[in-house]
Amino acid sequence: MTTTETRTPTLTPQERDLMHAYWRAANYLSAGQIYLQDNPLLRSPLRPEHVKARLLGHWGTTPGLNFVYVHLNRLIRQSGASVLYIAGPGHGGPGLVANTYLEGTYSELYPDVSRDEAGLRRLFRQFSFPGGIPSHAAPETPGSIHEGGELGYSLAHAYGAAFDQPDLLVACVIGDGEAETGPLAGSWHSNKFLNAARDGAVLPILHLNGYKIANPTVMARLPRAELEALLRGYGHEPYFVEGDDLPGMHERMAATLDAVHAEILAIQRRARQDGVTERPRWPMIVLRTPKGWTGPREVDGKPVEGTWRAHQVPLSEVRRNPAHLAQLEEWMRGYRPEELFTEAGALCPELAALAPQGDLRMGANPVSNGGLNARSLDLPDFRAYRAEVPVPGGVDSEATRVLGTYLRDVMSGNMDRFRLFGPDETASNRLDAVFEATAKTWEDETLPVDEHLARDGRVMEVLSEHLCEGWLEGYTLTGRHGLFSCYEAFIHIVDSMFNQHAKWLRTSRDLPWRRDVPSLNILLTSHVWRQDHNGFSHQDPGFIDHVMNKSADVVRVYLPPDANTLLSVADHCLRSRQYVNVIVAGKQPSPQWLSMPEAEAHCAAGLGIWDWASSDRDGPPEVVMACAGDVPTLETLAAVDLLRGAFPDLRVRVVNVVDLMTLQPHTEHPHGLRDADYDSLFTTDAPVIFAYHGYPWLIHRLTYRRRGHANLHVRGYKERGTTTTPLDMTVLNELDRYHLALDVIERVPRLAVQGARTKQALQAQLRRHRQYIEETGEDLPEVREWRWTTRGE
């Protein structure tokens, strides 16, 4: 433990008093936001009608957040450091709003919330008020990249922001409630992936205010020795600032911030100038202050300050209970607003001078607004990486391996602003060509047997989907680019993180001052159909369904069927902004269908008829075989192959869907097809056999308003899985070529009789399959060796 000794005071008495006054102003504005809709400067006695009808907000964490903010302001002024402030307890929104208002950024972005009494009234009234602003740090909050409504991701976001920003200091306040979450607990080890020479610094400030909503926190009640051991075990040198004595706390916080900042600069100097490569012991601060510090000590005879009762609104009956009203007035007047604000209602100039200027204000740090003019990626021409496809199905390729060669050059062309993230799966997902451009980040010891590890590597591998997602969120929200590749089934680990990020992006779209940030790109591979060997626990294509619930403005889902379409989609996604792009693609050797020009055209349309596989030139199709996903496409084409062999005159149309959003009505999604276009592809009367990668009902959900919906028959994953073979996975779920062909025979009227023999043959083939795998553990040779041979008409 380190407690900064204060022999020579860090602060002059005057400086200390001014900082204290600034903090009082922040606390005053915080309480004002929670309570008042009028009389913002208490220029008249407080009356019930000055108080909002609904009292909402979280007071408890706020004075601590304000305390940190005020002290960081001093550090910035003194050192010129660029500081990003992340408030893990983002529900302390009033504090961040108060501080960005005091420093002036708020009024610059929202001119109607001016720096005068009228502006103060608006500031107070809008908080947690319909049509106003949320009670949490939100996209609306200047300087924020982190909402903190759903707890757990502050530290991961902080590291994501710090990567590749060598001059940035990310101050991350971690609530002791949040510290109990799994994702936060896992995030401490992020320091093993931060390079002191190349990346910025993260300063974790563990804020022990002792209580959650109704309980003490684990961290705050740990015996001191255990807490210290834990933080050292995380690789940090903890500095403790503890108490509620004033001005002592100011003095100790200032001295401690100076000390940790000096230590951070020393670490960076050693790494950058002296070439020290050993992972440093980064400093951190443990700030122990009372919950609801400076708020009411007791309410109705019960202790509040320093207890869980201070969590939200300490005085809840203010409008009805005169004693509460009086106590609120006493509390707020205790901050002496008349000393803090001018007659016009502006912050007094000697206090305003305590804030940093311009972009150094934490509410104005460009990093927090997508890096403001963040640079796009310098992308190579994806066409150069194409698989040569002389004829459809003529060659095999591994789609993600091809993508890897493209990503290698994306990486080498953007060594300051592109990273690849994955839970120990980059090679397993066959993207390992990137290791020709860079290694995996690793700051601890390496051994001769290790491969592709380097302290300055740019591939981020850690066995935590939470960290991959959180780092990437922080990285893109600060204007950089990346791709997270993940086993499809395990992306559900970050379902809720995706939710929160999508909501952030959605809300940001409505804020003119928020710059678009690079999209968050997720590549799902090792997908459900090829997890036959890992079994049922690894088989889950439901993330797509989850994504589709979010606003159409911000989500995109692509299912490229082969390598060239994957390249085209990836290029598109890496250029895009303000989306979550989900790409599902296989890694196994598979037939390639489209040449690069065909792939580009197909991806641009999002879906289309594959003429070369269709046989409907001479009349309307008798059946439409639709497919989305690589394995469904393969099985569909194999079924078409079978059918066209058996029924040479059958008019089959093959439609492949890359962009799932096209299936929706265009009124629901900007990519959605107009009904006429949909009808011309799928017809309004022919049976449509749709082989889909995921849960079949999603296709129904997307198309139930289409005219031909009643004719739509979807095959997909229906939660039948086990440890078996690739073909058998499709057979279990009736998505295989034989079942698809049987579906056609069943649904094309004239095949009822004509198809009887073929039907028997297909059923026999299914029995043969069952017998063969039971004997050999392998799929039928004719399935493994099948290649598309039918030529287009």
Residues 117-146 that bind a copy of itself (CB under 8 A): 128-136, 138
Which one, 608 or 696, has the nearer CB to a copy of itself?
696
Closest approach of Cβ 358 to a copy of itself, in Å? 30
Q: Give yes or no for residue 226 binding a copy of itself (CB under 8 A).
A: yes
Q: What is the DSSP string of 483-500?
A: EEEEETGGGGGGHHHHHH
Stretch 46-85 residues interacting with a copy of itself (CB under 8 A): 52-54, 56
Which one, 150 or 242, has the nearer CB to a copy of itself?
150
Stretch 448-487 residues interacting with a copy of itself (CB under 8 A): 449-451, 453, 461-467
Which one, 151 or 745, has the nearer CB to a copy of itself?
151
Stretch 687-746 residues interacting with a copy of itself (CB under 8 A): 695, 697-698, 700-701, 704, 709, 719, 722-725, 728
Q: Rounded to 5 degrees, what angle do the CA atoms 622, 624, 625 make?
A: 130
What size, in residues, is the chain?
793
Which one, 589 or 597, has the nearer CB to a copy of itself?
589
Q: Give yes or no for residue 525 binding a copy of itself (CB under 8 A).
A: no
What does the block give as tokens for 754? 């004509």
Integer CA distances (angstroms), 228 to 1, 235, 236, 652, 781, in order: 6, 11, 9, 70, 62
Closest approach of Cβ 79 to a copy of itself, in Å? 29
Q: Give the CA radius of gyration of the chain.
A: 30
Q: Give yes or no for residue 496 binding a copy of itself (CB under 8 A).
A: yes
Exactly one of 425, 571, 600, 736 binds a copy of itself (CB under 8 A); that residue is: 425
Backbone φ and ψ for 421, nearest 5 degrees, come out as -125, 145
| CB 96, CB 65: distance < 8 Å | yes
Identify the three-state secondary structure at position 266.
helix
| CB 631, CB 586: distance < 8 Å | yes
Binding track over 366-395 against a copy of itself, x by CB under 8 A: ------------------------------
Stretch 757-786 residues interacting with a copy of itself (CB under 8 A): 773-774, 776-778
The partner residues of 240 in beta bridges, in order of sequence, read 286
Exactly one of 248, 535, 620, 645 binds a copy of itself (CB under 8 A); that residue is: 535
Q: Give yes or no for residue 277 binding a copy of itself (CB under 8 A).
A: no
Exactly one of 15, 228, 398, 677 binds a copy of itself (CB under 8 A); that residue is: 228
What is the total count of residues that contact a copy of itself (CB under 8 A)? 121
Q: Rounded to 5 degrees, what angle do the CA atoms 133, 68, 236 make?
A: 120
Which one, 81 or 113, has the nearer CB to a copy of itself?
113
| CB 124, CB 182: distance < 8 Å | no
Q: Rounded to 5 degrees, what angle do the CA atoms 68, 71, 77 make?
A: 140
Name every residue whose Cβ is closer than 8 Å to that of residue 420 and which is 6 or more positions away in sequence. 407, 411, 426, 431, 434, 458, 459, 460, 482, 483, 485
Closest approach of Cβ 55 to a copy of itself, in Å? 10
Which one, 136 or 587, has the nearer CB to a copy of itself?
136
Exactly one of 218, 323, 384, 752 binds a copy of itself (CB under 8 A); that residue is: 218
Which one, 9 or 535, has the nearer CB to a copy of itself?
535
Exactly one of 538, 587, 706, 737 binds a copy of itself (CB under 8 A); that residue is: 538
Which one, 760 or 776, has the nearer CB to a copy of itself?
776
Q: Give yes or no for residue 426 binding a copy of itself (CB under 8 A).
A: yes
Q: Give yes or no for residue 444 binding a copy of itself (CB under 8 A).
A: yes
Stretch 150-189 residues interacting with a copy of itself (CB under 8 A): 150-152, 177-178, 180-189
| CB 651, CB 690: distance < 8 Å | no
Q: Give yes or no for residue 301 binding a copy of itself (CB under 8 A).
A: no
Closest approach of Cβ 428 to a copy of itself, in Å? 5
Q: Where are the beta strands (DSSP E) in 658-728?
A: 688-692, 712-715
Q: Give yes or no for residue 679 binding a copy of itself (CB under 8 A).
A: no
Other residues' Cβ atoms within 10 Å of the Cβ of residue 511: 14
Label each residue of 544-584 as H, E or C. Answer: HHHHHCCCCCCEEEECCCCHHHHHHHHHHHHHCECCEEEEE
Q: Give yes or no for residue 428 binding a copy of itself (CB under 8 A).
A: yes
Which one, 56 or 326, has the nearer CB to a copy of itself?
56
Q: Give yes or no for residue 440 binding a copy of itself (CB under 8 A).
A: yes
Q: Which stretch binds a copy of itself (CB under 8 A): 80-88, 239-247, 322-330, 421-429?
A: 421-429
Closest CA to 26 of 87, 105, 86, 103: 103
What does the block give as tokens for 260? 């940790």
Q: Give yes or no for residue 675 binding a copy of itself (CB under 8 A).
A: no
Stretch 544-583 residues interacting with a copy of itself (CB under 8 A): 545-546, 549-551
The partner residues of 230 in beta bridges, in order of sequence, read none
Which one, 446 or 760, has the nearer CB to a copy of itself?
446
- The CA distance from 156 to 189, in Å, is 10
**What contacts 24+ positions apart, CB below 8 Å, involve 729-734?**
729/528, 729/529, 729/530, 729/531, 729/532, 729/539, 730/529, 730/631, 730/635, 731/766, 731/769, 731/770
Q: Give yes or no for residue 499 binding a copy of itself (CB under 8 A).
A: yes
What does the block give as tokens for 626? 């639709």
Q: Give yes or no for residue 410 binding a copy of itself (CB under 8 A).
A: no
Tokens 């504090």 correspond to what residue?
A: 95
Q: Give yes or no for residue 227 binding a copy of itself (CB under 8 A).
A: yes
Closest CA to 199 of 85, 279, 88: 279
Closest approach of Cβ 279 to a copy of itself, in Å? 9
**What contacts 24+ positions apart, CB below 8 Å, involve 728-732?**
728/532, 728/769, 728/773, 728/779, 729/528, 729/529, 729/530, 729/531, 729/532, 729/539, 730/529, 730/631, 730/635, 731/766, 731/769, 731/770
Q: Give yes or no for residue 92 binding a copy of itself (CB under 8 A).
A: no
Which one, 93 or 608, has the nearer CB to a copy of itself?
93
